[in-house]
Amino acid sequence: MLTRRHMIISSLAALGLTATAGRAEGLFSQTGLRGARDGSDEFVPPQGEEDGSRRFMQVLKAASARGRPVFLPPGTYRISNIELPDNAEINGVPGSTRILYTGDGHLFLGRNLKRLRLSGITIDGGNRWLGDYAGGLLHFTGVERVEIEGCDILGAAKNALHLEGCGGEIRANHISGAADAGIYAVESVRLAIRDNDISACGNGGILVHRYRIAEDGTMVTGNRVSAIRARSGGTGQNGNGINIFRAGNVIVSNNQVSDCAFSAIRANSASGVQISTNQCLRSGETAIYSEFSFEGAVVSNNLVDGAANGISIVNFNEGGRLAVVNGNIIRNIRAEAPYPPLDAGFGIGIAAEADTVISANVIENAGKWGMLLGWGPYLRNLTVTGNLVRQVPVGCAVSVAEGAASALISDNTFADMQELAIAGYRWNDRATGELVASGDTGFPHLTVERNRLS
């Protein structure tokens, strides 16, 4: 009697995809009747082979030409210098399929493709050498849609994942031990980086960059980033959990970022950035930065616990302006950082300079100032209302230096001040006494009203 089972096996044999009926049945049970090619049919199991790159490429090209994914059964595949064809898809068994880079130049390279996909694979770079042309263990350029899901990417000698001019989705991967960054994405097009766990990288967690200031639109959401070092040194170029550079209209939300050498989230020359509902824990320097030439930043509903500075919206001298800082909790801000203090130094809860509303934030236990409004002449159009500041030496330091423009400080609550609630400063030097109850501050640019000291 001819059953459906016999028909499936006969069809596979006719296509040359199987050597025995038993293997065909096993293949379909593992791939859910999706028509995948089983890599073991044309790729000798790798345990006895030092380098299976040639046969790996053969099966990959054949599968991609037919529009079918490659399924890699459990085992260790030792390969290098694989250039992925268009529409390549490689699926493995999570935790059991392991690709080991043999160190001959690059592992996976993809250039000018419409689509590629990797899922369920452990990819181990073994900290082996990568050629000068390879920015990462996985290096993709000009791929319209990259999909990498549920993979472990370990031990990259440079970036774990290097994307240039790519779109797509990087989701639910575990990335650890990269010498540089976990994910480096430059000149992206409709890219989403979601729900990844990135840890113990040498210079950065997730980097979203552009070569020139322009709209980018990458979404960085739901990731866990931890233990990021600054192996290459500097004062903020490295050591950041999430770093946005020159990329406009990027969303950074619902991430947990902890134990980074510098910032949890650092946006440099990034206009239209939204940084919201993130947890930033134990940052070595400023937890959340929006700095240099930017216009428009929303920093809202974040929790910052432990940093040298909390939130900084600065560099009006470079064109940095226009922001909302709302609904954040900032606590345990210490007055020390990885390098000697510059300018205002460290121990500041929130710092802002131009065209910014600071409202409904809670700041507790900062080593120097709860809020710093302006710096020398770099102060314009700050509205500071409805904040709670407690357990700091000075609750609010506002610039009264020559050239400083308007600031409104109203309806804030200051509790357990060690020195003063509100005071005017010329740079780092205090220039006034207590201003919390002042109707007339003596400075035309400064309005202080309806604040409460308890």
Q: For residue range 281-317, what is the model confidence (pLDDT) as tens digits? A: 999 999 999 999 999 999 999 999 999 999 999 999 9
248: its two tokens: 């406009």
pLDDT in tens, 308-341: 999 999 999 999 999 999 999 999 999 999 999 9
Q: Which residues pair with 358 in a beta bridge?
A: 325, 384
Q: Give the three-class secondary structure for 363.
A: strand
Residue with tokens 């030097």: 429
Least confident of 4-8, 68-72, 88-92, 140-144: 4-8
Whether residue 407 is contained in a domain is answered as no
Q: Which residues pair with 75 in a beta bridge?
A: 97
What is the CB-side half-sphere exposure of residue 267 using CA atoms within 13 A? 33
Phi, psi dihedral angles at 162 (to 5 degrees): -115, 115
CA distance 37 to 18: 9
Residue type, 324: V
On the question of pLDDT at 79 being above 70, the answer is: yes
CB 200 within 8 A of CB 223: no
pLDDT in tens, 351-400: 999 999 999 999 999 999 999 999 999 999 999 999 999 999 999 999 99
CA distance 135 to 228: 19
41: its two tokens: 């049919």
Whether residue 91 is contained in a domain is answered as yes
CB 439 within 8 A of CB 422: no
Q: Which strand (E) or helix (H) includes residue 55?
A: helix 53-65
Whether residue 100 is contained in a domain is answered as yes
Whether residue 388 is contained in a domain is answered as no
> By C-alpha distance, which of 320, 224, 221, 309 is closest to 267?
320
Query: How many CB atoms are located within 10 Å of the residue 268 CB?
Result: 23
Residue with tokens 């452990």: 122
Least confident of 1-10, 80-89, 379-388: 1-10
On the question of pLDDT at 12 being above 70, the answer is: no
Whether residue 110 is contained in a domain is answered as yes
Whether residue 170 is contained in a domain is answered as yes
Q: Which strand (E) or helix (H) includes residue 147?
A: strand 145-149
Query: How many CB atoms are located within 10 Å of the residue 383 CB?
Result: 17
**pLDDT over 90 percentage in the chain:** 85
CA dihedral sign, ordered 311, 376, 451, 406:
negative
> By C-alpha distance, which of 257, 267, 252 is closest to 311?
267
Q: Which residues pair with 268 in a beta bridge?
A: 245, 291
Q: What would the mean pLDDT of 162-185 be, rounded to a whole number?
A: 98
CB 449 within 8 A of CB 410: yes
Whether residue 227 is contained in a domain is answered as no
| 135 φ/ψ sector (left φ>0, alpha ψ -120 to 50, else beta) | alpha
Say how many domains are in the chain.
1
- DSSP single-letter state for residue 190: S
Report the relative pairing of strands 429-430 and 420-426 from DSSP bridges.
antiparallel
Which CATH number covers residue 38? 2.160.20.10
Phi, psi dihedral angles at 159 (to 5 degrees): -75, 145
Burial class (CB in 10 A: 0-12, 13-18, 19+), 393: middle
Structural domain of 166: 29-193
CB 439 within 8 A of CB 451: no
Residue with tokens 């419409």: 114
